[in-house]
Structure 1
């Protein structure tokens, strides 16, 4: 997964500018997803409100600041 794919998933799971998404993960790509989230936050495209690590998934909740399709 790259940041464009993650941003598209966030756009598809959003209502207005709020999003909530649960991404199935493995131990290998769990850190990759965390890095992509940090990149999107530093680019000021999203503001993460909640990040919950579950056994086989990551739950993300936040605000889309600006994302063009």
Structure 2
């Protein structure tokens, strides 16, 4: 998964400007990569993350997509 793919996933899972999605993970490296990508999107001002929950087999993300970034 890359940053563009993650952002498309978040946009597809959004209702209005709120998104809520679970991204499956296979390893700890996947978990760290997802966290890095979300951090990059936040620094770029494309999203505002409200919640990030590490689950056994997935990462749950909940937040806001900023429309000014389109």
TM-score by length of 1: 0.93
Unaligned runs of 5+ in 1: none
Answer with 35-44 or 22-31: which moved more: 22-31
Structure 1 runs of 4+ off > 4 angstroms? none
Q: For residues 21 and 13 of structure 2, what CA distance do their matches in structure 1 show?
A: 6
May I ask how many residue pairs the two structures share in their alignment? 68
1:65 corresponding residue in structure 2: 66
Q: For residues 11 and 17 of structure 1, what CA distance do their matches in structure 2 show?
A: 8
1:10 Cα deviation after fit:
0.3
2:39 corresponding residue in structure 1: 38
Q: For residues 58 and 30 of structure 1, what CA distance do their matches in structure 2 show?
A: 7
Over residues 17-49 of structure 1, what are the superposed CA-to-partner deviations in whole Å (9 max), with x where a residue is unaligned?
A: 000000001222110000000000000100000
2:18 corresponding residue in structure 1: 18
Aligned residues: CA RMSD: 0.9
